[in-house]
Amino acid sequence: MKPTTHAYRTLWLSDVHLGTRACRAEAFKAFLKAHHAETIYLVGDIIDGWMLKDSWYWPTVHSDILRLLVKKAKKCRMVYVPGNHDGLLRPFVPLDIGAIELRFEAVHVTANGRRLLVIHGDRFDPALSRGKVLNTLGTWFYDALIEINGWLHRLNSHLRRPHFSLAQFLKDNSSDARALLAKFRTLSIDHARKHGYDGIVTGHIHHGEVTEEDGILYANSGDWVDDCTAIAETWTGELLLLRQPAATDLSVLASA
């Protein structure tokens, strides 16, 4: 039976973290094959340069994903907005790499005329503005969490158990984490309002969401470490949060 495909006006994808064991690569690959759009925004942290710098990890499926993205870029408009984990690309913007447009940020106009700022969002992260020492500790904690998530995912896949994310558990059960998410959202919305945009689409914080506050649209594309989410724009201009079923990569990995 032919796989079901979905076509949208626009897709926003972020925080894939290729080059880490925590990357849900098979789920992301399946999503790319099944979802198409006229415009695709890669909203940062597609490749995790931080982790690759310390420990090389690059399975074949990660190369498959890059080839698939390049193939898609030949059939649609693709804009790559680097994040902090693939920040080595930032000094080179603006630059066109083949059919892929490398930009520090972008402005997207929806089908119903709303102007949205597209930016990775690390500048709105309160955890990255607490000074050098605390920032270093936060980075170390994040890297450790990514590694733990990767090992948990591989273990659960081997045992054919549902995916469990320690990072997601902490986000759901920590008042500090919820406060950080709320602060990130507020700073993003304030930035969009200050600069005259109707909304903003970000990544970075690993929490997929579409909401509106005081007339400003806020959308976060989530990640492919925990949530397996993306943002899609319909042909009428509505923004939706898409979630790839967790069983997609669980079944593939368990049978590998």
- Per-residue pLDDT of 138-181, as tens digits, reads 444 555 666 666 566 666 566 666 555 555 555 555 566 788 89
Q: How many domains does the chain have?
A: 1
Is 149:157 a contact under the CB 8 Å cutoff? Answer: no
In a domain, 104, yes or no: yes
Q: Is the peptide bond before 94 cis (omega within 30 degrees of 0)?
A: yes
pTM, 2 dp: 0.83
In a domain, 1, yes or no: no
In a domain, 25, yes or no: yes
Tell me the C-alpha distance between 12 and 118, whole Å: 9
52 falls in which pLDDT band (50, 70, 90)?
A: confident
In a domain, 182, yes or no: yes
In tens, the pLDDT along 68-84 reads: 999 999 999 999 999 99
Residue 73 domain boundaries: 6-254
Which tokens in the block code for residue 198?
């109707």
Whichever domain contains 133, its CATH number is: 3.60.21.10
